[in-house]
Structure 1
């Protein structure tokens, strides 16, 4: 039971900071926060993503490119141009690393105001940091595992962020339903997104990319957005005006 709870904490904790910080803040800037709060959020993202930590800079730029080039050859991740999800994941990893290492030239429109903490990212993305987390996860599993099948969950813990990414970037462009007909393959995975905390309303998000709330219909409850509203109420962040959805 301890292992299951641990993996659930990593799943939803890592997912929240990927959605809240990397996606809605770094990429789309649907709310603002102080520099101090931003630095705290960097650290919390590292704590919950652990061995699969993603930098706000690399993620933010790559996601903006995804919106600009959705389902074209320039899209960093698209089922339309990758043979399988593993090929897409490898391509995404390569582009992400090249952005962080500044090995590719990126249009200035994709880098504007993307948060970056170079010294922290250098540590959090380092082999030392990732090996530290891997060692911790393995020791935790070794101590708390009560059934052999629970070891199946170890790779999930180690690769949490890529798994979250592939659910949306691969399956969210193949399976599901649409509320808006668009010139791309984005789909909503769930009518109520219990698994991805609102990220599963991918078709809605592609239609209204600047909205903090990914839900449109009454049953499309965006759990991450509800938390954002609470943080805004307590003035931890400042939510920008929400565009009217049509």
Structure 2
């Protein structure tokens, strides 16, 4: 039971900061916040994403490229140009690494208006940091796992961020229904997206990329949006008007 609680906590906390910080803030600037709160969110994203910490600058550049060229040959991770999800993940990781290492120059329309913290960026993307987090997860399992098969969950801990991204980009552009014709293949995979915290409302998101609420129909509930509204009410962040 302790292992499953730990797994679910890591899954949803890692996913929350990926969608809240790297996606909705770094990539789209759906809200503004003070420098102090930005640093707090930065550290929390690093801690909860852990072994698969996602550099916010690299994430933002790749995600903006994805929106600009959605489901075309220039899309860095459209499932319609790869034979399977593993090939898509491989290509995504390469593009992401190029942006982290700055060996790829982004197009002029993509850079700017994303958070950067060189110390945390270098630390979070380092092999040492990823190994230390991996060792911490493994140690926790050694102490608390009661069945051998629970150790099969460990690889998911190690690759949590890329796995989240693969699910969203593969399923969100292949399976589900459409509310809008966005001139791409984006879909809402499920009308009740608790598993991916609203990220599988891809068709809605591609129609309204600056809206902090990924739901559109009355029955489409984005679990992260009420948290964002609460933070706005508490003046931790300030929501920007969607356009």
| TM-score bracket for this pair, using the shorter chain length | over 0.9
**Between 109-118 and 26-35, the greater mean CA deviation after superposition:** 109-118
Q: Summarize the alignment of residues 1-246 of structure 1 with structure 2, pairs less than 5 Å apart.
A: 1-243=1-243
CA distance in 2, matches of 1:52, 1:134: 9
SS for the counterpart of 1:6 is helix
SS for the counterpart of 1:113 is coil
Residue by residue, what CA displacement relative to the aligned partner does 1:197-243 show, whole Å, maximum 9, x if unpaired?
Answer: 11111110001101111000111111111100001110011111234
The Cα of 1:157 is off from its aligned counterpart by 1.2
Runs of at least 4 residues of structure 1 off by over 4 A? none
SS for the counterpart of 1:198 is coil
Residue by residue, what CA displacement relative to the aligned partner does 1:34-86 show, whole Å, maximum 9, x if unpaired?
Answer: 11111111110011111011011000110000000111111110111111111
SS for the counterpart of 2:109 is helix
CA distance in 1, matches of 2:19, 2:120: 20
Runs of 5+ unmatched residues, structure 2: none
* Equivalent residue pairs, number: 243
SS for the counterpart of 1:175 is coil
Runs of 5+ unmatched residues, structure 1: none
- Aligned partners of 2:171 and 2:200 also within 8 Å: no
SS for the counterpart of 2:226 is helix
**CA RMSD between the two structures:** 0.9
TM-score after normalising by structure 1: 0.97
